[in-house]
Structure 1
């Protein structure tokens, strides 16, 4: 597959958009990236089943770079809760391996597309509802955070997102401030992405009909272009997170997620 100018422009725009959102909302950009990568790949002759899987894997690979840029910006502001990162990360790594190396390889792309659509719809609803936690609720102990990390890593591996769609609501539910939750989610994106990418690369080695320049399920040309542009934009999103009205932005973003979720549900259903 040749990267013609139009494709490069599409990938750059996608990278800039997802990088900004990763820094702004701590979501890793995957919920936006996966549907658009699926559209791009499907339009260039890749089978729908394989396009969904490669979009998920490639999206996750870009988060390795986006998370580094985003967390550096948040760390400078002292917003990252490294104590939470240390407790969630081990479970995240284990859950990510189970999701990307095991379940992901066994499921058809159509099932993953439907699961992605349903879960993104749920995430969008949670954003709009914006429920406030009880004043006395706090983060669970070490064992509880290990278990939560495993759940976050596992689901992230199935949908190709950085885990912020679970970790940010989870932390705010436990009365971690929104800014700290977003910043900490950005830091968690690195172990989530790294563990899942290893799983995608290994599980995709025996797959037939992969496009040129693929490494397992990861499409390297898209990774390079999207990761570069998102890496440049993530710090700007992180900076904006401390000044913009996050609640209003979340409602706007949630509306977009409903549209993308509907597309992925349609894609999964017609692929049966």
Structure 2
């Protein structure tokens, strides 16, 4: 068992991550998971959680925290009239379906595989955001069904395997079809709701009875971390949404990209060191 001073230090680190994840949820529509997952992975490791279940636990716990954060962020963006509700309604089945598939896969994949998936996707998307050009377009209108349904399902799978709210993929998707980064961010906050709720259920079921889980865990969700971080993220998300609408498109995209690069490097170093 770790010493009391260690536990307090871990709690302080988690609290800081809660502040950052709440701001990121509002600013980038990503639900904060992209920062919570790597922090959880290291904190759970220091607490003695076996590597075999550590990444899955980090992903599931992140998605559980994203539930209220995404709802709060979505409400803040919707109040500004920036959310594409038509797109979200078209994904109400596709995105949750993909997320449940991801939870099933994650329960059977290795920790190293999940970390590499996280890092590779984050790095690809970072390149798109940092080096974005206005000429980079796939079209002027978002795809129609069945292509749109398949896109939503794939986004659910990728986000579920990364423990994020979907902004990392949806922001890129919408801007490639001529939508503003501000509308993409706002819509991604709603997508986070469609991902986090079924993701929570999927990771609880997928990790039910798994060995080596820390106390107060239900499947791959640790409720100590959830209870500690959720209040902080709920408070900070509206401030992030306000900051997003005050920034230029270029600044918002580059900030998002640099953040993803840092996260990706951190995971690559962890895998190959």
Q: CA deviation at 1:172?
A: 1.3
Q: CA RMSD in A?
A: 1.8
**1:39 has 2:42 as partner:** yes
Q: Could you tell me the TM-score, scaled by structure 1's length? A: 0.93
Give the direction of change, closer, same or farther, for the CA distance of 1:214–1:169 in structure 2 (3 Å limit): same
Q: Distance in 2 between matches of 1:194 and 1:131?
A: 34
Aligned position for 2:209: 206
Q: CA deviation at 1:135?
A: 9.0
CA contact 1:64–1:193 (8 Å) conserved in 2: yes
Aligned position for 1:259: 262
Q: Distance in 1 between matches of 2:126 and 2:151?
A: 20
**1:131 has 2:144 as partner:** no
Map 1:184-203 onto structure 2 (within 5 A): 184-203=187-206
Q: Distance in 2 between matches of 1:184 and 1:249?
A: 15
Q: 2:73 aligns with which of 70, 74, 78?
A: 70
CA contact 1:109–1:268 (8 Å) conserved in 2: no
Q: 1:59 aligns with which of 58, 62, 67?
A: 62
Task: Give the SS at the match of 2:91.
Answer: helix
Q: CA deviation at 1:47?
A: 2.0
Q: Could you tell me the TM-score, scaled by structure 2's length? A: 0.92
Give the direction of change, closer, same or farther, for the CA distance of 1:226–1:10 in structure 2 (3 Å limit): same
Q: 1:11 aligns with which of 3, 9, 14?
A: 14
Give the direction of change, closer, same or farther, for the CA distance of 1:246–1:6 in structure 2 (3 Å limit): farther
Number of residues of Structure 1 aligned to a counterpart in Structure 2: 269
| Structure 2: tracts of 5 or more residues without a match | none
> Any idea what the Cα deviations from partners look like across 1:141-186, whole Å, max 9, x if unmatched?
1322211110000111111011111111101111222211111110
Q: CA deviation at 1:233?
A: 0.4
> Any idea what the Cα deviations from partners look like across 1:55-111, whole Å, max 9, x if unmatched?
1111111111111110111111111111110012211011111111x2111101111
Q: 1:150 aligns with which of 149, 153, 160?
A: 153
**1:245 has 2:251 as partner:** no
Q: Distance in 2 between matches of 1:218 and 1:135?
A: 38
Task: Give the SS at the match of 1:142.
Answer: coil
CA contact 1:112–1:268 (8 Å) conserved in 2: no
| Structure 1: tracts of 5 or more residues without a match | none
